[in-house]
Amino acid sequence: MPSAKPTVLILCTGNSCRSHLAEGILRAAAGDLFDVQSAGSKPAGHVHPLAIQVMREIGIDIAAHRSKSMAEFLSTPIETVITVCGNADQACPIFPGQVNRHHWPFDDPALATGTEAEQLAVFRRVRDEIRRRFEAYAAGRRDALKSAPR
């Protein structure tokens, strides 16, 4: 049964890191307002273990997330599409019912090299950047709903 809440779809190329970080953060900040989903234009088939780890550090569990293709959502009414990498923005189709589209690119932490500590530092930085943007977005949408005519 479709959700009565509008769907926000977060897209990235691989749907293994950034889109899952954003999905988890937006769901925690505004899951009462939106059905939050993520997908990829070329799904990697897994969620990066370091993405799961850095989200657990801020109390958000994304261990049950799975890497999905944006094709799974082509027949779903999508209110807002947010792309978090350049490739997904270029590959992004128009979804049925789509009202809003945002492109907020973030560095890909999966490309981080070095020791695990150095890689974790990149994952944490990107997580924190995504958290600031998506929590601000949730707050703005919440404020807009409060001031909307009833």
Let me know if residue 1 belongs to a domain: no
Task: Write down the pLDDT at residue 23.
Answer: 98
Residue 17 is among the residues annotated as catalytic for this protein: no
Sorting pLDDT into bands at 50, 70 and 90, what band is 1? very low
- The pLDDT of 60-72, averaged and rounded, is 95
Set 12, 36, 51, 60: catalytic member: 12
Let me know if residue 66 belongs to a domain: yes
- How many CA atoms are closer than 13 Å to the CA of 131, on its beta-carbon side? 14
Q: What is the CATH number of the domain that holds 38?
A: 3.40.50.2300
Task: Write down the pLDDT at residue 86.
Answer: 67
Supply the pTM of this predicted model.
0.91
Let me know if residue 83 belongs to a domain: yes
Let me know if residue 40 belongs to a domain: yes
d(CA 87, CA 55): 24
Let me know if residue 30 belongs to a domain: yes
- The pLDDT of 34-56, averaged and rounded, is 95
Let me know if residue 14 belongs to a domain: yes
**Structural domain containing residue 49:** 7-145
- CA 38-41-44 angle, to 5 degrees, is 80
Domain count, the chain: 1
Task: Write down the pLDDT at residue 111.
Answer: 92
Set 9, 25, 26, 85: catalytic member: 85
CA distances from 42 to 30, 67, 91, 94 (A): 27, 10, 10, 17
d(CA 68, CA 139): 27
Let me know if residue 137 belongs to a domain: yes
DSSP letter for each residue of 52-96: HHHHHTTT---TT----BGGGGTTS--SEEEE-SHHHHHHPPPPT
Set 36, 92, 122, 126: catalytic member: 92
What would the pLDDT profile of 85-142 be if each residue is shown by its tens digit?
Answer: 866 556 666 666 667 889 899 999 999 999 999 999 999 999 999 999 999 999 999 9
Let me know if residue 44 belongs to a domain: yes
